[in-house]
Amino acid sequence: MSKCWSKMTRSLQSEADKIIVGRLGAPRGLNGELKLIPLTDFDGRFDDLSEVFIDNKVRRVDYVREIGKGLVIRFEGVDTRDAAQPLTNKLLKVDRSNAAPLDDGEYYTFDIIGLDVFNLDGRQLGTVTNVLKTGSNDVFVAGTPDGRELLIPALKRVVKSIELDKKSMVIDEATLEEI
């Protein structure tokens, strides 16, 4: 994480370089703590968190700790319940460069959403609008030009390629009928 800041907050260069890792809940107690709702699959994401972006500004993190089955967070300069209240429901973002590493063939959900889906012949079938976590395998939901939804199991026999730089996914449409 960048260590060059002049104040508690600073402006971002690009919102596209940020990823959402959590959402702030209601204040907890009187000392500025807020409930933290993780929006990430990576265990330990908040263990060494020193700064986050909220509303396009950097906030220094005093600490994140476990309370029961949940997490609470406290920010530098936010030391009362009244100071914490305006942060309720805000999204926490980090630099994309601080994203947890992935193995080959793994992708972040936020990279998959928005990909154009093509069949093996190059015909566009739709655009990915959501990723469903089913337990056995993810399912990509693509909105089609005629307003329907195409459900695409995230299986190698179905998804033939994902090219993030081209914002595209190629699937074997025939295998969808077999599943």
Taking the domains of the chain in order of start, what are their residue ranges? 15-98, 109-174
Cα–Cα distance between 20 and 69 in angstroms, integer? 21
| pLDDT tens digit sequence for 133-143 | 888 899 999 99
Q: What is the pTM of this model?
A: 0.65
The CA–CA distances, whole Å, from 90 to 37, 77, 113, 116, 179 equal: 10, 17, 21, 30, 40
* pLDDT score for 12: 39
Q: What value does the mean pLDDT take over residues 30-55?
A: 90
Enumerate residues 6+ apart whose C-beta is below 8 A from 62.
74, 75, 76
- Select from 3.90.1300.10, 3.30.530.20, 2.30.30.240, 1.10.760.10 the CATH code of 109-174: 2.30.30.240
Q: What value does the mean pLDDT take over residues 17-35?
A: 93
Residue 6 has pLDDT above 60, yes or no: no
135 CB neighbour count, 10 Å cutoff: 5
| pLDDT tens digit sequence for 66-103 | 998 899 999 999 999 999 999 999 999 998 888 777 88
* pLDDT score for 3: 31
Lateral strand order in the sheet of 168-171:
149-153, 138-143, 124-133, 116-118, 168-171, 159-163
* pLDDT band at 4; cut points 50, 70, 90: very low
CATH T-level topology, domain 15-98 = Elongation Factor Tu (Ef-tu); domain 3 (2.40.30)
